[in-house]
């Protein structure tokens, strides 16, 4: 692999920036200062350092973001701040959000350039669990819970015109939140438009606040404040790919 390609894959900078960095002697190969950006390296054996920090090769990049309200889950938007804007300190060239959260919804969002993983996590056939913290306008009844867990009509239709029922969900009733509002955890494995809000509307309730807590094996890091992010650990990446 070319050295500049290797450094680009590590989000060090653009190709033009990397060329300048190498020219300024900021990169070493096995302890020797690199002199050319097009020199070929063995990314699995050679020790590559940038500003004294040893770099390990990673073809893809994975970030956990605690999405705040008011930010859109998109790569570009003409009106609103996007989730990529929150990763201003990273080279976000090929990063995409894995699924979407509504503009007023907070919580876990995975951003990656690993298209295969995004496809697997979002495929309806994979039935990847997504857990939401749902603050409600009123108490939820046992009958409402049964309807949510059996699957219900939220106004979607199949190509043949038949009603497209939601897949069975799971509901866990929790103590009321700090403001005295009913609180549940709702686990679904679909990603329809405004799905959680529409499911609760279908049983005569209203979502007042919504936060995603998990997606598959990935759990929202409690140390991340809204708007903060961090790279995924090797263990988190491995678990997601399983």
Catalytic residue among 46, 102, 221, 239: 102
Neighbours of 164 (CB within 10 A): 15
Structural contact between residues 34 and 23, judged by C-beta atoms closer than 8 angstroms: no
Smallest Cα–Cα separation from 217: which of 198, 235, 197?
Answer: 235
DSSP character at residue 192: -
Strand-pair partners of 131: 187, 214
Structural contact between residues 166 and 152, judged by C-beta atoms closer than 8 angstroms: yes
Smallest Cα–Cα separation from 227: which of 86, 88, 109?
Answer: 86
**Distance (Å, rounded) from C-alpha 30 to C-alpha 27?**
10
DSSP character at residue 157: B
Structural contact between residues 26 and 50, judged by C-beta atoms closer than 8 angstroms: yes
Task: Establish whether 234 is a catalytic residue.
Answer: no
Structural contact between residues 150 and 168, judged by C-beta atoms closer than 8 angstroms: yes
Strand-pair partners of 89: none
Q: What amino acid positions are annotated as catalytic residues?
A: 102
């Amino acid at each position: 692999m070319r050295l500049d390609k290797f450094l680009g894959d590590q989000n060090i900078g653009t190709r033009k920036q990397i060329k300048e960095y190498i020219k300024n002697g900021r990169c070493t190969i096995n302890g020797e200062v690199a002199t050319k950006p097009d020199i070929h390296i063995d990314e699995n054996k050679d020790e590559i350092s940038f500003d004294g920090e040893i770099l390990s090769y990673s073809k893809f990049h994975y970030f956990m973001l605690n999405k705040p309200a008011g930010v859109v889950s998109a790569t570009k938007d003409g009106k609103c701040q996007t989730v990529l804007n929150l990763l201003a300190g990273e080279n976000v060239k090929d990063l995409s959000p894995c699924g979407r959260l509504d503009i007023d919804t907070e919580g876990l969002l995975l951003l990656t350039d690993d298209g295969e993983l995004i496809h697997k996590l979002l495929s309806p056939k994979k039935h990847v669990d997504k857990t939401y913290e749902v603050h409600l306008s009123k108490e939820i009844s046992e009958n409402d819970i049964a309807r949510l867990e059996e699957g219900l009509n939220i106004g979607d239709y199949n190509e043949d015109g038949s009603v497209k029922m939601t897949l069975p969900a799971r509901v866990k009733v929790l103590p009321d939140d700090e403001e005295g509002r009913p609180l549940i955890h709702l686990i679904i494995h679909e990603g329809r438009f405004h799905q959680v809000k529409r499911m609760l509307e279908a049983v005569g309730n209203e979502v007042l606040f919504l936060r995603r807590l998990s997606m598959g094996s990935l759990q929202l890091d409690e140390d991340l404040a809204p708007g903060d992010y961090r790279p995924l650990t090797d263990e988190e990446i491995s678990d997601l790919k399983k």
